[in-house]
Amino acid sequence: MTTGRTLIVGTRGSRLARRQTESVVALLKEHCPDCRLEVRAVRTTGDLRPEPLSEISGEGVFTKELETALLAGEIDIAVHSLKDLPTDIAHGLAVAAVTRREDPRDALVSRDRTPLAKLPRGARIGTGSVRRAAQLRLLRPDVKPVPIRGNVDTRLAKVESGEFDAVIVAAAALSRLGWLDKAAEVISLEAMLPAPGQGALAVETRADDAEVLRIVATIDDRDSRLATAAERAFLRRLGGGCRIPVAALATVEGSQLHLDGLVVDPQGIRAFRGGVSGDLDEAESLGERLAASLLSEGASEILEEMAP
């Protein structure tokens, strides 16, 4: 498999985004050794604006500019953290591959490697995620989640400087940067469910570019694609994005898929959690079914209260 074109691979400019894109480029070269690939950084709204993500209107704050560049033909491939990609992608584009998922859990980085259970009362824990903050309040109502923005390196530096007692970040982000040893703990899934798609990378192309679609499809991981499809269907049915505390994780065992999902109010007082299992070919319907179940149990009240 080869192409006479030089394929432009778009990415955000952060160290983590570049590392993720390097891993995708390496996979593509493994399957298409003669392909010519060039990486190009694209600045997104989320990179340019410093306020909390929940205060930025619209979806796709880390992906929209990359999708615009794809549609304009300025790049041929875009690499995203799948959790950043809206459940409804832009018309004319396709997720051609979801690469093999890394650890989907969250991790705590603290001074002196103090685990969450032993942090002092009133500890300031940085997180830019309403999902993490809400679950943190469920676990430790005596600590203080504090909004934080910036790249992973910036967040860790704020712990080292004493501005925060700890931060919560994706374990996969630390792993990709070679910094997993900095974590005081990787938080259990029983204590904190991840964002839908966390730990997975989405590789997006133009839907009508058959040549690139064919090349990128060679690096698709079936289990990761189906698991994240269930999670994203759950999120889509709830009508949520990064502004509401929704968490989900699907696992694949043989021909079966199991999905856990959670909706929690921002104060960490009310939480609705459930699970559902079924055949792999039911991935999206399983996500929709679990969302409907939690909505009927009372999660709809949380979503209605948070509606703009």
User: Cα angle at 128 between 90 and 77, to 5 degrees?
Assistant: 30
Together in a domain, 28 and 69: yes
Query: Are residues 209 and 282 part of one domain?
Result: no
**What range does the domain containing 89 cover?**
6-99+200-220
What is the domain-level CATH number for residue 15?
3.40.190.10
Mean pLDDT of the chain: 93
User: Residue 279 maps to which CATH number?
Assistant: 3.30.160.40
pLDDT band at 194 (very low <50, low <70, confident <90, very high): very high
Report pLDDT for 150: 87
| Contact (CB, 8 A) for 151 and 46 | no
User: Which residues carry out catalysis?
Assistant: 84
- If one counts the domains in the chain, the total is 3
Specify whether 71 is located in the same domain as 134.
no
* Same-domain status, 25 and 166: no
The pLDDT tens digits of the residues spanning 34-71 come to 999 999 999 877 665 555 555 544 567 789 999 999 99
76 and 159 assigned to the same domain = no
206 and 91, same structural domain?
yes
Of the chain, the percentage scoring pLDDT greater than 70 comes to: 93
Q: Is residue 133 part of a domain?
A: yes
Q: Please tell me the least confidently modeled range out of 66-75, 118-127, 146-155, 183-192.
A: 146-155
**20 is a domain residue:** yes
Q: Are residues 207 and 181 in the same domain?
A: no
The answer to whether residue 191 is domain-embedded is no
Residue 40 belongs to some domain of the structure = yes
- The reply to whether 280 and 252 lie within a common domain is yes
Q: Does 115 reside within a domain?
A: yes
Same domain, yes or no: 36 and 90: yes
Same domain as 204, residue 64: yes
pLDDT of 59 reads 66
How far apart are the C-alpha atoms of 117 and 128, rounded to whole Å?
Answer: 21
Residues 45 and 173 in one domain: no
Q: Same domain, yes or no, for 56 and 88?
A: yes
